[in-house]
Amino acid sequence: MLDVVKSTSPSIPFEVTDPERIPAARYYDEEFYKLELERLWPHVWQMACRLEQIPEPGDWVEYSNVGRSVLIVRTENGVKAYHNACRHRGVPIAGGHGNEGGKPAFGNCSSQGFVCPFHGWRWNMDGENTLVYGSHHFNKRQLDPNDIRLVECRVEEAIGCAWINFDDDAPSFRETMGPLIDRLEAHNLHKLRAEWWYQTTIPANWKVAMEAFMEGYHVMTTHPQLQDAVPNMYDSRYRNDGPFSLADPSLDLAGNIEAQLLSMQRLSEGMAGMLHAKELEIARSLKDFKSLGIEFPEDVNQALMMWLGVVQAQITAQLQANGEPVPDLNTVCQTHPVNAVEFLMPHYFLLPYFSSFSAYRIRPTGPEECIFELWSLTTFPEGQEPDPVMEPRVLPYDSAEFPPIPRQDYSNIPIQQKGLHAKGFEFMRLAENVEGMVSNYQRIIDGYLKGEDPKKLAEATQKLGGNFDGPILELGF
């Protein structure tokens, strides 16, 4: 078992003291949840909106989470964020319904600015007050221009999103996430656009919802259609105690290609962005490997890897020829590799395969409830991008209208939440080599709750990059 560096910081309830065992009460205890609201969420970088939602000066989107509301605004000088409260009496100057409102508020403030619905005070996109109705009623000191400016919130742009942080002293977003951001941007993630966006409310703690996507160990049972397509690939990773093999040695190259195409089809049907239909079409066109004029090696695993390289080369060439900003996939997979799932602490996931991505965002609404959102992200010919998707399609978590893969995951998450309350269930038992991310991010949460050095927390957070299906790690605190 991993030796943990003991901290001298104050103790917290239900602390992770054994990295392989996560106390169950962390997922429903009211006191623990309140500590997260007080000590975690005010200090972390949160994905606030997609940048394509605010393309023009004056465009704004409201982001709300754990009782706080922020307005993300495109100005003439870049993206800014403001705490959503009138400087007069605190009424939100736009939106203001928070997580309870379901769909986010958005608009453009170029003409009238932000107008408080209570007394009509106004601000422009740069946060400057432009009108105090009946200003003669106020003492001069009450209307100092600097004093009644909208209060700015930290915001940074990366990988096609605006990220906010309520902590003015926290390390920057890139310092916190580390080299993962460079790897993702090498895959042109910042040039992708949303083609759809779903949202649901799940009766489960936000961490339960997230941990369903921190390992692939659940695929055999939760997603049997994926296991059935390429059983050897999953079995060699999770069931058997041997080397990982992409290919099934009992099949020839043609049989392995058939299996891979079936797996791709089911991933595409199940997630869209994770493996886009246009990529699947290109892969299918290369099914007849003998017609490619390439001499494949006799080793079937090496041959299958070579065929997948051809698929990536053709996806690159054909989509680039269509004007889509796709990088050279074979090159970036070598120089800037990314995992099947990448987690950006505390609540954002990216799931790539070829050039498109799926994305998840989770926001808590209580100790045993959360909002779960998912996007399909892909490339479009430059200059022909569709209008941005401004609102999610809101569905019940058990709706049959969700794509198959999240629908299967959503079938587990609520019942797991109930199971955590079972008598005698004191902690989750983790596999140290494939469920390590669950332990690692949970112990980083403890670091925030105990007030560890922000630089150490950032260094630990960087270790989550590439940690999907990974081991329990030393975190340095």
Cis peptide before 346 (omega within 30 of 0): yes
Can you give the pLDDT at residue 291? Answer: 95
Can you give the pLDDT at residue 102? Answer: 60
Q: Is the dihedral of CA 410, 414, 420, 423 positive or negative?
A: negative
Amino acid in position 141: R
Q: Could you list the pLDDT tens digit for every one of the 477 residues in the chain? A: 454 444 455 689 999 999 999 999 999 999 999 999 999 999 999 999 999 999 999 999 999 999 999 999 999 999 999 999 999 999 999 987 765 556 789 999 999 999 999 999 999 999 999 999 999 999 999 999 999 999 999 999 999 999 999 999 999 999 999 999 999 999 999 999 999 999 999 999 999 999 999 999 999 999 999 999 999 999 999 998 888 999 999 999 999 999 999 999 999 999 888 999 999 999 999 999 999 999 999 999 999 999 999 999 999 999 999 999 999 999 999 999 999 999 999 999 999 999 999 999 999 999 999 999 999 999 999 999 999 999 999 999 999 999 999 999 999 999 999 999 999 999 999 999 999 999 999 999 999 999 999 999 999 999 999 999 999 999 999
Q: How many CB atoms lie within 10 A of CB 284?
A: 13
In whole angstroms, what is the distance from residue 275 CA to residue 265 CA? 8
Q: Which residues contact 436 (CB under 8 A, 6 or more apart)?
A: 430, 467, 470, 471, 472, 473
Phi first, then psi: give them for residue 86, nearest 5 degrees.
-60, 135
Can you give the pLDDT at residue 1? Answer: 45
Gyration radius of the chain's alpha carbons: 24
- Is-contact 313 329, C-beta < 8 A? yes
Can you give the pLDDT at residue 98? Answer: 61
Q: How many CB atoms lie within 10 A of CB 147?
A: 10
Strand 393-394 to 193-202 pairing: parallel
Torsion of CA 171, 174, 175, 176, to 10 degrees: 70
The domains located in the chain, with CATH, are 21-43+176-213+340-462 (3.90.380.10), 46-162 (2.102.10.10), 224-323 (no CATH)
Query: Distances in Å between the alpha carbon of 219 and those of 125, 263, 264?
Result: 47, 12, 15
Q: Provide the whole-model pTM.
A: 0.94
Residues 202-236 have pLDDT tens digits of 999 999 999 999 999 999 999 999 999 999 999 99
